């Protein structure tokens, strides 16, 4: 069975043909819907800009949200603190009389 699927997504005023994994179809469709929603909000808020300017604003917003999620999901400070706690406990338990 072929796990690939050909779809067309309408983003803005253009169709984009894609060859994707069948399991990813809904994510692609949801992503296109999200982009179109953002485009429409920017068109309403800032009328008269070019298509490229609207798409740049959507790209900036998506990139910002992606970086924000990465920052919020950064577990390094917690892992470091956890390791310090483990080290303290290990030292304490290892030094019992």
pLDDT in the model for residue 49: 96
Interacting residues of 17 by C-beta distance below 8 A, sequence separation 6+: 6, 7, 8
pLDDT of residue 80: 82
The rounded distance, in Å, linking the Cα atoms of 85 and 80 is 9
pTM for the structure as a whole = 0.70
Domain ranges of the chain: 1-53, 60-97
Alpha helix locations (H) across 1-97? 25-45, 51-72, 76-94
pLDDT band for position 95 (50/70/90)? low
Closest-CA residue to 31 (of 1, 51, 11, 56): 11
Mean pLDDT of the chain: 90
């Amino acid at each position: 069975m072929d796990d690939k699927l050909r779809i067309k997504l309408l983003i803005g005023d253009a169709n984009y043909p894609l060859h994707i994994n069948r399991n990813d179809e809904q994510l692609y469709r949801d992503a296109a819907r999200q982009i179109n929603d953002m485009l429409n909000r920017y068109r309403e808020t800032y009328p008269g800009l070019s298509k490229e300017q609207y798409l740049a604003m959507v790209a900036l917003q998506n990139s910002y949200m992606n970086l924000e999620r990465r920052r919020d999901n950064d577990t390094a400070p917690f892992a470091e603190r956890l390791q310090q706690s483990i080290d303290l406990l290990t030292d304490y338990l290892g030094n019992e009389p």
